[in-house]
Amino acid sequence: MSAANGTVSSSEKNYLSAPTATELHQSGVKFKNPGKNSLFDITFSNGILEIPQLKIDDNTKILFRKSPGL
């Protein structure tokens, strides 16, 4: 942040990112596949993160390109 005018330059911006699965696991979070199809059906309770499995194949890139606003 510039002391002179209180503005933040683009090179000084901080970005917030989610922890990786490895970091969550190392901190004690357990993972469970709820067996549901929706990627948005995610819950966290009692240290267990229930998140649907994302299968990566040749068509995954196409899927994400067609859904830019998710």
pLDDT attached to residue 2: 45
Report the SS3 class of residue 27: coil
Count the residues in the chain: 70
Question: Residue-wise pLDDT tens for the chain (70 aa)?
Answer: 444 555 555 566 777 888 999 999 999 999 999 887 787 889 999 999 999 888 888 877 777 777 665 5
pLDDT attached to residue 68: 65
pLDDT attached to residue 46: 96
* 57-69 pLDDT tens trace: 887 777 777 766 5
